[in-house]
Structure 1
């Protein structure tokens, strides 16, 4: 099922991308461009999501620590 979905999304993405960029290609080239773009885009988004998820957790931890320090300095001291 994943391969069929990749091809369908690739066809749609390739058609849209070739029209936006002003290319006049045949169907097979359009599908190849779309499938390759879907693979590259999917990999890039997964990588960004993985790094972003880790970084978001780190930023959240730092912000939480800063808030705790501020609360301690403001109300406990």
Structure 2
């Protein structure tokens, strides 16, 4: 069940992050960005997530996805 939650939260976070950062990507890339961001955000905000629950995890996923987009735009393209 946690993997399914990670995919769902990651997909939503990826969608929001790509819209905030104004990046046009296809659906698999958006989901991959979101899941990667959820992993980054979940690991870095683990303590905060224990205190506040899924809301902090979702915010961390969005921030992590935005970080991945920034790194991708800065160093890959």
- TM bucket (normalised to shorter chain) is 0.5 to 0.7
Aligned partner of 2:37 in structure 1 is: 37
List aligned pairs for 1:50-61, cutoff 5 A.
none
Q: Which of 1 and 2 has greater Rg?
A: 1
Specify every segment of 5 or more residues in structure 1 that has no aligned partner in the other structure, as ranges. Answer: 50-77
**What TM-score comes out, normalization by structure 2 length?**
0.60
- Greater relative contact order, per chain length (Cα 8 Å cut-off, separation 6+): 2
Q: Which runs of 5 or more structure 2 residues have no equivalent in the other structure?
A: 50-77
> What RMSD in Å do the two structures reach over aligned CA positions?
1.8
TM-score by length of 1: 0.60
